[in-house]
Structure 1
């Protein structure tokens, strides 16, 4: 019940919930949510990896007339747990191998809950100095783990799409409008970003990848020379650190040399693959990433955070603010000075929740070495998968080797339709799920093995089920 104007000013004399829920009700329901989540963690290996519901059925169960009167919150929680949360992919399941898994850790979930529960905002220094320092801290920690320069600055966003868009905007702000170079293996959201940023068709150069499905330095050099001869200005190279299709990484050192030679911006899309650089093996594969002007990664993938969390890191101090800063009169009282950061001036987001709390909580709770070990585990699992596939040459053919937790392969004698059918049958069984894909003109199956809870037996059973006759 909402208080009226006669309510005493004693803060403990009014209901603690804005809409009138009592403290006892809040505690009981909150504890019930924690129990539901932990119970699900304990049994997730036994649940279906992915379930896609029927639109008519789900609308009938979850929709209906607007509830003018209160509905029992326990019944609503049950409906969420039993219907809403069951009809979705479970990217943290140990046998979720499709696309890129999202194996969130519980300490990160606690940090997310705290931020939501305290209604934390991270937009202006005056309105959120604590959350701002946490965000600055985690951006510096991640940059250090990746081996990026000490001068690196960052901003947290919803994911790779907005992270890359943010980096592109900064590149244009710093370099000026011109041609952006990428390949046919670049993530499909990135050409869309460039178009929505206003680049024309002849300013988006999609280059053919080489036989290893990577950007060719020679092809890039030739394209730049052609554009200069045609009077166009090269602006940026979009390099990939761990392509979605195969896990391949472009030749970052060679690309950095070319960007330096032509005064271009080097952007690295490492949405899932960049965290591999926190391991010795991954750092060798990603050599040259430390020379980039901007790097994007999704901590909701290989840093084990709940959705959503993307990170755009920029190695040119002040470039984010030069691109996005605004200082309207109504924010005059909360502007930052002297090393303070207004995160509303580092991207297009102004009203923004504190996404950093979950990453800060998990890095402090588990320690950086635990993350290194977990990422190394994902790399090792893909290598194990490749070795097993090669041990059965009559059944399987490896199309691309294990690269940063991804391996692509084909079932002997199968075409694209057959691969899609095998993948669909596996998903429908609920046991596991993986992706079918096309590598230029070659049909393939694809496993992404970045969940540290995945076992070798999970992989072997998945492959056995895939190989069974249709």
Structure 2
């Protein structure tokens, strides 16, 4: 008898084998293909069949159609020369873990139906907690990404004490987005000045907190950043921890990008004080090489999460039974949640921590190599030096008006998308555009960096009219 929505074992194997072959071919040939190209919505909509299917089709043919439509219409954020934004290099082990978690349809929200996944997630969280220097009272959970990790942490801080939140101009936009979602108005947000290294100015923060207290207001949470998206800057975490402890203010560290550098000796003292935070956001789908989605929030005291998120419902009564039941719906906003922890658990087990450490240090070294190349000639001005695998720069045009330099900078970035060899985008420093390299892919080589800078120089010349240097 046919079972609705169920393939035969033979068809499942046929489809699964094809899927594995497609992913392996993608990873094996990625370096030899373009990073991506400019999206053309009209062309894509003309190619994609938008008719709602009424009857069945061969699953292998459907898979082949899907792959044909996807291959040419995505930018490969896992490409060794994707140097824009924060790249998303991932491992095949992580992809297989996602397939297994989906194939078994693991429900990782509550104890009765997901005790094994809960213990594996707790184990993985403990690994991350230990690496970040948080005490045994700490805990946390996996979420979709940095935006949700920041939101969970800030809500936990607010549940402890509702009041003012302190950020800088370099704080990630997800913080302000999360605050709006939580009902904060702009009047409760304080923008603290930064120093010449784009880090939060501790003295300015101290003055603002004192002023707010004098006005009868309640300071609640300071949001520090470990690895800003723009420049890789790390706020002075130790000094901020001292101030927050003295003022009894929650210290949240958005380490979605940079917290991974706790593995690296090359990061030196940049992350000193990370383990003194009340909460930390980090993204294993960034610099720990996991497929999307894999964000994580850690807290110093796990009871702060249960105080903020624990729920009771009549249909969940049995989930409270057993020996120390672990219900992740008590630690965050989701009841239904997938098994995100499996991918990092399998990857750490498969490759070992030393391999991750080497990969992180490789990215830091390549950014420093890029800086050496940029400073070697007279084509570029380095705006912010290499830090945590990020460097920013712009073309040097002696005597040119800033507007001309800015226009050329943006045209170079747009040119990389058309060219396809590497992708380099802009950000803004001091209100002006800069080119930005973020080099975190473990397979990116020094030659890739050299060839990418050569591409940027060629695009600069072309944008200037093709008559010699820009």
Contact 1:2-1:19 within 8 A present in 2 as well: no
Contact 1:146-1:278 within 8 A present in 2 as well: no
Partner of 1:309: 294
Partner of 2:401: none
Partner of 1:453: 443
Partner of 1:20: 6
Contact 1:247-1:273 within 8 A present in 2 as well: yes
Is 1:133 the counterpart of 2:119? The answer is yes
Q: 1:411 pairs with 395, 399, 418, which one?
A: 395
Contact 1:303-1:371 within 8 A present in 2 as well: yes
Work out the CA distance in 2 between the residues paired with 1:83 and 1:53.
Answer: 13
Work out the CA distance in 1 between the residues paired with 2:290 and 2:415.
Answer: 29
Q: Give the 3-state SS of the residue equivalent to 1:285 in structure 2.
A: coil
Partner of 2:239: 254
Distance 1:336 1:369, change over 3 A: farther
TM-score (norm 1): 0.94
TM-aligned CA deviation for residue 438 of structure 1: 1.2
Work out the CA distance in 2 between the residues paired with 1:69 and 1:455.
Answer: 49
Partner of 2:376: 391
Per mean C-alpha deviation after superposition, the further-off stretch among 73-82 and 273-282 is 73-82
TM-aligned CA deviation for residue 74 of structure 1: 2.1
Partner of 2:466: none
Work out the CA distance in 2 between the residues paired with 1:369 and 1:428.
Answer: 38
Partner of 1:53: 39
Q: Give the 3-state SS of the residue equivalent to 2:366 in structure 1.
A: helix
Q: Give the 3-state SS of the residue equivalent to 2:113 in structure 1.
A: coil
Contact 1:276-1:283 within 8 A present in 2 as well: no
Q: Give the 3-state SS of the residue equivalent to 2:108 in structure 1.
A: coil
Q: How does 1:17-166 map to 2 (within 5 A)?
A: 19-166=5-152
Contact 2:410-2:433 within 8 A present in 1 as well: no
Q: 1:342 pairs with 321, 327, 330, which one?
A: 327
Q: How does 1:279-290 map to 2 (within 5 A)?
A: 279-282=264-267, 284-290=269-275
TM-aligned CA deviation for residue 349 of structure 1: 0.8
TM-aligned CA deviation for residue 337 of structure 1: 5.3
Q: Give the 3-state SS of the residue equivalent to 2:293 in structure 1.
A: coil
Work out the CA distance in 2 between the residues paired with 1:115 and 1:191.
Answer: 32
Contact 2:38-2:418 within 8 A present in 1 as well: no
Q: Give the 3-state SS of the residue equivalent to 1:407 in structure 2.
A: strand
Distance 1:332 1:198, change over 3 A: same
TM-aligned CA deviation for residue 336 of structure 1: 5.4
Partner of 2:400: none
Q: Give the 3-state SS of the residue equivalent to 1:156 in structure 2.
A: strand
Q: Show CA shifts across 1:96-123 (max 9, x none).
A: 0000001001111111111011001101
Partner of 1:465: 455
Contact 2:226-2:234 within 8 A present in 1 as well: yes
Q: Give the 3-state SS of the residue equivalent to 1:284 in structure 2.
A: coil
Work out the CA distance in 1 between the residues paired with 2:373 and 2:199.
Answer: 25
Q: How does 1:292-331 map to 2 (within 5 A)?
A: 292-331=277-316
Work out the CA distance in 1 between the residues paired with 2:72 and 2:101.
Answer: 25
TM-aligned CA deviation for residue 416 of structure 1: 1.8
Work out the CA distance in 1 between the residues paired with 2:38 and 2:56.
Answer: 29
TM-aligned CA deviation for residue 283 of structure 1: 5.3
Q: Give the 3-state SS of the residue equivalent to 1:144 in structure 2.
A: helix
TM-aligned CA deviation for residue 223 of structure 1: 1.0
Q: How does 1:355-374 map to 2 (within 5 A)?
A: 355-374=340-359
Is 1:438 the counterpart of 2:424? The answer is no
Contact 1:275-1:297 within 8 A present in 2 as well: yes
Contact 1:124-1:335 within 8 A present in 2 as well: no
TM-aligned CA deviation for residue 338 of structure 1: 4.2
TM-aligned CA deviation for residue 378 of structure 1: 0.7
Work out the CA distance in 2 between the residues paired with 1:149 and 1:92.
Answer: 34
Partner of 1:7: none
Q: 2:413 pairs with 390, 404, 423, which one?
A: 423
Contact 2:91-2:289 within 8 A present in 1 as well: yes
TM-aligned CA deviation for residue 82 of structure 1: 1.9
Work out the CA distance in 1 between the residues paired with 2:306 and 2:321.
Answer: 12
Is 1:276 the counterpart of 2:261? The answer is yes
The number of residue pairs the alignment matches comes to 454
Q: How does 1:189-204 map to 2 (within 5 A)?
A: 189-204=174-189
TM-aligned CA deviation for residue 71 of structure 1: 2.4
Contact 2:37-2:419 within 8 A present in 1 as well: no
Distance 1:366 1:447, change over 3 A: same
Work out the CA distance in 2 between the residues paired with 1:342 and 1:312.
Answer: 16
Per mean C-alpha deviation after superposition, the further-off stretch among 161-170 and 108-117 is 108-117
Contact 2:426-2:436 within 8 A present in 1 as well: yes
